[in-house]
Amino acid sequence: MFGRRKIIRLGFYGPPNAGKTTLANRIAMDWTGEPVGKVSEIPHETREVQKKERVVVQTKGKKLIMNLLDMPGIATKIDYEDFLKHGLSIDDAQQRAKEATRGVIEAIKWLENVDTALVVMDSTKDPYTQVNITIIGNLEARNIPVIIVANKVDLKDAKPERIQDAFPQHPVVKVSGLKGKNIDSLYEAIAEHSR
Amino acid sequence: MPHKCARCGKIYEDNAPELMNGCTCGARVFLFLRQREGRTKEETIEKLKRQELEESDLEWLDKRLGRELGESDKTIHLDVENLLRLERGKYRLDIASLMKGDPLVIKVRNGVYYIDLPYSMRKKKQAKNVGTSDREQVWEIRGKRDI
């Protein structure tokens, strides 16, 4: 009656360090000139939901208007000792762990406000993880369209076909958020599969 | 008779000002501890303090969850809680339970739980308020809440 919703609320989900923020930054920088958030090699850099609203993307004659919602990485275990290796003090590492834990809960709560989910995975890593399976299973149960992003294909050890084999029921787009490789295919997938 | 803080477990004697003003951890709920027969007040307090130190939270966790805790990526299914605070800076989350929409139940240590009661209500409010400004507002309220 009111026509289709014009703005796609696009949630970036996935484990920590899969490249969610790098990918979100790539899209936001290309179309707005501003990044979504800070990236780091230390896991759980994104500990709050980062937003970039009304990002207008033109792809093959179609116009996509998206709210990019970059989520904290989802993990089942958060241990401050993992951050110590990266040179953080004990206090800073423990604080980061607390914020990261809160971030996971927030990311899950935000599932209710997402129209389409990009599940971002690191192509150099084994995709058969319980976190990936749980996220995708839950998105399916909620009837939220899923697009799997096999990220980091620029790396030598990348095996994006493993991701395709693991989740054949969903479209898989092979990209490099860092190098901007194949991002157009991602826009096409978003245009095709979003509701 | 001693009183024990329901949140952090700190023991206070009768008439301690903290019983009126709140524990150093901020909690205001205390458990009244019965004194065993034949034991002085001081002995009871000492015994309880020793007990606190000896009871390791990790011990019972290890017994219950066994190998699962060691495997970082494995999803764990916890009991009534869906967030376990093992120690400062170490957490385990029951992702499946949280994703299912169960209320947030945090187990701080054996026998002490926090339940986020307004969570379900906020969830409904958030679902209705799909506008940007409302979402930001909800996030700000949530952002201030501590684990």
**Mean pLDDT for the stretch of residues B122-132:** 47
Q: Cβ A101–B96 below 8 Å, yes or no?
A: no
Least confident of A73-77, B18-22, B108-112, B143-147: B143-147
Could you report the per-residue pLDDT of A104-144, keeping only the tens digit for each?
A: 988 998 998 999 999 999 999 999 998 899 899 999 999 99
Sequence-ordered list of residues with C-beta below 8 angstroms from that of B87, at least 6 positions apart, any chain: B57, B58
> Which neighbouring-strand residues pair with B91?
A78, B85
Interface test with A, best of B84, B95, B107, B139 (most A CBs within 10 A): B95
Could you report the per-residue pLDDT of A12-57, keeping only the tens digit for each?
A: 999 999 999 999 999 999 999 999 999 998 999 999 999 999 999 9
Residue of A nearest to B94 (CA): A76
Q: Cβ A105–B132 below 8 Å, yes or no?
A: no
User: Would you tell me how many other CB atoms lie within 10 Å of the CB of residue A34?
Assistant: 10
Looking at the partner chain, which of A95, A106, A108 has a beta carbon nearest the beta carbon of B99? A108
Identify the helix (H) or strand (E) that includes residue B92: strand B90-93
Looking at the partner chain, which of A53, A74, A90 has a beta carbon nearest the beta carbon of B95? A74
Last residue of a domain, one of B14, B38, B54: B54
Q: Are A36 and A58 in contact (CB under 8 A)?
A: no
Residue of B nearest to A115 (CA): B130
Same domain? For B85 and B37 the reply is no
Give the Cα separation of A81 and A26 in Å (integer).
31
Quick one: tokens of A55?
Answer: 């990002």
How high is the pLDDT of residue B130?
41
Work out the widest C-alpha separation in chain A, in whole angstroms.
56
Q: Are B147 and B90 in contact (CB under 8 A)?
A: no
Same domain? For B24 and B92 the reply is no
What DSSP letter does each residue of A86-123 carry, written as one string? TT--HHHHHHHHHHHHHHHHHHHHGGGG-SEEEEEEET
Counting the structural domains of chain B, the total is: 2
Same domain? For B114 and B68 the reply is yes
Same domain? For B61 and B20 the reply is no
Same domain? For B67 and B124 the reply is yes
Sheet-wide strand order for A146-151: A50-59, A62-70, A7-13, A116-122, A146-151, A172-174
Least confident of B30-34, B39-43, B114-118, B136-140: B136-140
Residue of A nearest to B134 (CA): A113
Q: Cβ B93–A76 below 8 Å, yes or no?
A: yes
Q: Cβ A104–B95 below 8 Å, yes or no?
A: yes
Same domain? For B42 and B82 the reply is no
How high is the pLDDT of residue B144?
36
Same domain? For B50 and B62 the reply is no
CA dihedral (A91, A94, A98, A99) positive or negative: positive
How high is the pLDDT of residue A150?
98
Same domain? For B43 and B89 the reply is no
- What letters, b where the CB count within 10 A reaches 16 and e where it falls short, cover A123-152? bebebebebbebbbebbeeeebbbbbbbbb
User: Residue A89 above 90 pLDDT?
Assistant: yes
Residue of A nearest to B145 (CA): A102
ipTM above 0.85, yes or no: no
**Mean pLDDT for the stretch of residues B66-87:** 64
Task: Provide the shortest C-alpha distance from residue B142 to chain A (in Å).
Answer: 8
Rg (CA), chain B: 19
pTM exceeds cut of 0.90: no
CA distances from A144 to A62, A75, A114, B129, B146 (A): 22, 20, 8, 18, 30
Does residue A28 or residue B70 have the better pLDDT?
A28
Angle between helix axes A183-193 and A20-32 (nearest 10 degrees) is 90
Q: Where are the domains of chain A?
A: 7-193
Domain containing B110: what range? 57-144
Domain A7-193 CATH (choose: 3.40.50.300, 3.40.50.1820, 3.40.50.880, 3.90.45.10): 3.40.50.300
